[in-house]
Structure 1
Amino acid sequence: MPVQTHGPLPGGTTAPAPGLRRFNDAPAPEAEAALLECFGSHRWAQRLAAHRPYPDVEALLAAADEAGYDLSPSDHTQALAAEVSPALGPDAPHAARLALDAAHAEYERTFGHVFVICLDGYRPSEHPDQMLAGIRERLGHDEERERAVTADEMRRLARGRIMALVSSQ
């Protein structure tokens, strides 16, 4: 992932891009609120906001990953409670919607939380197949395995959301 910078500084370093600079300079409550939109754990958001300023996006993403690995089960539960199950677009076939609705219900009954999946890197036209394949595969997991996969998917979602947050001009 390329470093997001904005022009050279003395000594050959580069300044953070405007979005990252605004994030670094924002008051802590504002930064925490923005981070909670990326990942719904208050502890995670507070930790990332407290360690600002970040010299570049990679440092922020690394800190987000590290903070994600350090969360307690209750922190993960809090973050999952802030998520909504991914849905298909309005132009998706009715049969695909029915299949996904049934799969979501079974997943939530089995694991007690919404199904999360990061679809970054897939074209929107691939989302229905990826969601259905992912949820069907993961329904075969035991609780421990699914907890680990869900945590990975949440970290991936957070990374994409952070990129969007700091990429704004």
Structure 2
Amino acid sequence: MTNDLGFTCSCCGVQHLELPMNYSTIAPYVWDESFSDRSDCLLSSDQCVIQAQHYFVKGLIEIPVIGSDDVFSWAVWASLSRENFARAADRWDTPGREAEEPYFGWLSSDLPLYSPSTINLKTHVHTRPIGQRPLIELEPTDHPLAVEQRTGITLDRIHQIAETALHPTPDNA
């Protein structure tokens, strides 16, 4: 999803026609490309298994945009127990799967725009209807990402995120 507000980047001065309203991580932070050739590892757009011991699903951390009906989102990975991963996988294409109780997980994506690290924040993974990524709800702590999920963010904050994503530095890459 993008927004038609556009913005002028304070880093490079370029007028960008759209303000991105979502960002995505490719794989859990523990994924290594050397796993690609292993039979006990899998990385798809929605699920990841590492050495038949670590299990992950991709979902959305949704953040309300203050003063609007818009939602900003991070597509991130959460680890699940073997049992919960198997249960979620068994119901992946089952109508009504959204009635499942949320699964406990650990956030497994590093979002370097946040300090301290986002790795291993406690989550609840809420299954949604077929075709929709799960909703990842962070434990209500004082971590800046958890606070943003609870209280929302401004368009200025989204501009800041876009500029940081477009112009990474060693500190936020």
- Structure 1 length-normalised TM: 0.29
**Which structure features the higher share of strand residues?**
2
Bigger Cα Rg:
1
